[in-house]
Amino acid sequence: MSLPVPDRPLLAVLRGELRDPPPVWFMRQAGRYLPEYRALRADKGGFLDLCYDPEAAAEVTLQPIRRFGFDGAILFSDILVVPHALGQNLWFEAGEGPRLDPPLQNGLLDGLQGMPERLQPIYATVSRVVADLPPTATMLGFAGSPWTVATYMVAGRGSKDQAPARRLAYRDPVAFARLVDAIVDLTVDYLCGQIDAGVHAVQLFDSWAGSLAPEQFRRWVVEPNARIVAALRARRPGTPVIGFPKGAGAKLVDYVAGVTPDAVGLDETVDPAWADATLPAGLPVQGNLDPLALITGGDALARAVAAIRAAFPVRPHIFNLGHGILPDTPLSHVEQALAMVRA
Amino acid sequence: MSLPVPDRPLLAVLRGELRDPPPVWFMRQAGRYLPEYRALRADKGGFLDLCYDPEAAAEVTLQPIRRFGFDGAILFSDILVVPHALGQNLWFEAGEGPRLDPPLQNGLLDGLQGMPERLQPIYATVSRVVADLPPTATMLGFAGSPWTVATYMVAGRGSKDQAPARRLAYRDPVAFARLVDAIVDLTVDYLCGQIDAGVHAVQLFDSWAGSLAPEQFRRWVVEPNARIVAALRARRPGTPVIGFPKGAGAKLVDYVAGVTPDAVGLDETVDPAWADATLPAGLPVQGNLDPLALITGGDALARAVAAIRAAFPVRPHIFNLGHGILPDTPLSHVEQALAMVRA
């Protein structure tokens, strides 16, 4: 007699099943709106220290699951650990954001010494989370998509309209392609490592997909993400990939056709009715509550949740935000949203 | 015997005619990439002083026409003259951008004294430009759309993701609607004033249309722009209106259906083939060269221009950028692009 296999609703939807109510989780970072996260953070020091501390990162990953019973646990980490492992120095300036040094103004990685061992603690985090995860919850790994990661590597920080990387990509597409290729290769290894450590599915965050003109979008968003998806299917078949090209607008259709993700994330500007009418039948979608509707609560939140719930009557759907949760989100609003989704 | 009416190709396209090659102009601000602009600016002082100096502003408006023979002259002004005329103080911090004081954190205009007379110099600018304009050139007036203007009025400056206005719009939609109504009313008067002074067409710039969730987009982008278009049709029939909801993505379709502009501007992230396949037949479109392709020049520029030229075989098209021209654009690249468009 074999043991019953636990049902993970989120994983089931990623494999194409309809679930009503839909599974739900809220986008990263995992717990930054939680008092228990702030307490741990005050104890443990900097954000990056936390990412590389498997015990602490596992705890932060699990905090929202314990409090809200989300269907998905999103790894607590940062997309910039990949440039760090490619050899750039990485730190976070308080109140300002990430810094990568040296900035790769010409896209050249030549002087850098790759340090893939920097990713080892993250695999250890995954193992710890999976060991403690409720059997119905899905463990989600992630990485930044190459275009988005490259925008930080080139500028050495966040940049207005991603102009330094966009200019480089036009000016020297050969050098930029080499940089993107290096990110693709390490990202595939990194996601395989997460899968080997136990994640059930992975998400590719292309946070700055929205700033590219169509030809550039095909070349730097669709093509590299497609290569990652193909490599994962070859090397670790059976692990679903969620693609999330934030801000892609109508080009979401090209993304889905070219990348062939197992599911696609919708940002909060996407009309869910348009997505349902336009995307391939049966393709699971994830999203797309406006984080500001969640901040607002009350009627605005109720209307927004209801509109999303009604939009996908016959399509596999994972309820989520359309963008990362904001640190000043009231916990009672998260509870209100969850109650409505699960009603 | 009557005098021949001069043909203005851009105006003809706005009225639905096909022209090959298409008329062309490059988005504002008018001349900021030109040495003759920088010389005049050094002479005349601040940006806002220039906007309110009819002689200087007319000169700046005409500079690109003289140098390149563009088919359209875009009024040299700023979208924030409307908040200034609603009574906020307005100035530009060097290297930082606009400041409006007091910021309308609750959306309330109550303490402000409206000063519509602040707009008079702009009408004088229009009259001067029209008097000096070549008879084949079209004079384009413009205003910011209410949502975009409100984002600055609420935050008192540019703001990351337009968060202050987006939060207010969710939190207190009644107060926010009153602010938007006030902007709508003054904008209609302002555009009527521009039309009376001689502009042949007007453009509504909704630069931050891309940050709104669908319901918010309908309420704060589609509905107010629709009211402006309807009011202009009633009060000044026959003057075409170009709507430009930057970043609207797939919601461009809802914008066109709801606002019913005479033409629609496409930002550089829109795939022109998608636009041509999706927008109503015969609707004139304007755009949408990536300003960074123009900066790059060479093959990248040639490919980008060719793709746009090929995308609208049977649709009235005005060639333009998809976003404002960048100050460091080489003049030789502008010449290259124009030669290709006109070939």
Nearest CA to CA, how far is B42 from chain A (Å)? Answer: 27
> Using omega within 30 degrees of 0 as the cis cutoff, is the peptide bond preceding B280 cis?
no
B177 domain residue, yes or no: yes
| Percent of residues, chain B, with pLDDT higher than 90 | 92
State percent of chain A over pLDDT 90.
Answer: 92
Is residue A252 within a helix (H) or strand (E), and if so which, with residue range? helix A252-259
Q: Is residue A192 part of a domain?
A: yes
DSSP A40: H
Strands A285-289 and A263-265: parallel
- Decide: A25 and A10 in contact? Cβ < 8 Å: yes
pLDDT band at A30 (very low <50, low <70, confident <90, very high): low
Residue B308 has pLDDT above 70, yes or no: yes
The answer to whether residue B289 is domain-embedded is no
Put simply, the answer to whether A295 touches B214 (Cβ < 8 Å) is no
In angstroms, rounded to a whole number, what is the distance separating the alpha carbons of residues B327 and B33? 4
Q: How far is B290 from chain A (nearest CA, A)?
A: 7
> How many domains is chain A partitioned into structurally?
1
**Which residue in chain B has the smallest CA separation from A171?**
B296
- The pLDDT-based confidence of B292 (bands split at 50, 70, 90) is very high
Nearest CA in chain B to A172: B296
Tens digit of pLDDT for each residue in A192-213? Answer: 999 999 999 999 999 999 999 9
The answer to whether residue A160 is domain-embedded is yes
Tokens at residue A273, please?
């009715």
User: pLDDT tens digit string along A108-167?
Assistant: 999 899 999 999 999 999 999 999 999 999 999 999 999 999 999 999 999 999 999 999
Question: pLDDT band for position B226 (50/70/90)?
Answer: very high
Percent of chain B with pLDDT over 70: 98
φ/ψ (deg, to 5) at A32: -70, -5
pLDDT for A52-74, tens place per residue?
Answer: 999 999 999 999 999 999 999 99
Give chain A positions within 8 Å (CB) of B268: 213
Q: Are A335 and A26 in contact (CB under 8 A)?
A: no
B197, part of any domain:
yes
Please give the average per-residue pLDDT across B29-33, as a whole number. 77
pLDDT at A29: 74
In a domain, A144, yes or no: yes
The pLDDT value recorded for residue A94 is 83
Lowest mean pLDDT among A131-135, A151-155, B33-37, B337-341: B33-37
Mean pLDDT of B226-251: 98
Mean pLDDT of B40-60: 92
Residues of A labelled as active-site residues: 28, 32, 41, 78, 152
pLDDT above 70 covers a percentage of chain A that reads 98
Q: Residue B37, Cβ neighbours under 10 Å: how many? A: 20
- Numbered residues of chain A with Cβ closer than 8 Å to any chain B Cβ: 163, 166-167, 170-171, 173, 210-217, 247-254, 268-274, 278, 290, 292-293, 295-296, 300, 303-304, 307, 322
Residue A288 · residue A308 · CB < 8 Å:
yes
Confidence of residue B30 (pLDDT cuts 50, 70, 90): low
pLDDT above 90: residue A31: no
Give me the sign of the Cα torsion angle B242, B245, B247, B253.
negative
pLDDT for B265 equals 98
Res. B208: pLDDT tops 70: yes
Whole-number pLDDT of residue A4: 65
Q: What is the pLDDT of residue A144?
A: 98
Which has the minimum average pLDDT: A207-221, B90-104, B186-200, B232-246?
B90-104
Looking at beta carbons, which residues of chain A come within 8 Å of B154?
none
Q: What is the pLDDT of residue B245?
A: 98
pLDDT at res. B87 = 98
CB burial of residue A35 (10 Å; 0-12, 13-18, 19+): exposed
Q: How confident is the model at residue B187, as a pLDDT? A: 98
Known catalytic residues of B? 28, 32, 41, 78, 152
For the full predicted model, state whether its pTM sits above 0.90. yes
Structural domain contains residue B76: yes
Range in A5-14, A27-36, A92-101 the model is least confident about:
A27-36
- A35-44, A138-147, B155-164, B248-257: least confidently modelled range: A35-44
Shortest CA gap A221–chain B (Å) = 13
Establish if A276 belongs to a structural domain. Answer: no
Task: Identify the CATH number of the domain in which residue B75 sits.
Answer: 3.20.20.210
pLDDT of residue A77: 95
Structure confidence at residue B293 as a pLDDT band (50, 70, 90) = very high
Lowest average pLDDT, out of A42-51, A281-290, B102-111, B159-168, goes to: A42-51
A303 vs B215: CB contact, 8 Å cut-off?
A: yes
CB contact under 8 A, B249 and A250: yes
A interface test, pick of B212, B292, B333 with most A CB neighbours within 10 Å: B292
The SS3 call for residue A113 is: coil
Q: Is the pLDDT of residue B143 over 90?
A: yes
Q: Edge-to-edge strands of the sheet including A241-245? A: A72-74, A138-144, A201-206, A241-245, A263-265, A285-289, A317-321
Structural domain boundaries enclosing B108? 21-261
Which candidate from B215, B272, B295 shows the least CB-CB separation from A167? B295
Phi and psi dihedrals of A265, rounded to 5?
Answer: -85, 140
Q: Which residue has the tokens 């041509």?
A: B276
> What is the mean predicted confidence (pLDDT) over B332-341?
97
> What rounded mean pLDDT belongs to chain A?
96
User: Taking residues A265-290, what's their average pLDDT?
Assistant: 98
User: Which band of pLDDT confidence, cut at 50, 70 and 90, is reported for residue A85?
Assistant: very high
| Separation CA B11–CA B30 (nearest Å) | 18
Please state, rounded to an integer, the average pLDDT across all residues of chain B: 96
Distance in angstroms (rounded) separating the CA atoms of residues A249 and A245: 9
The mean pLDDT value for B225-232 works out to: 98
pLDDT at A156: 98
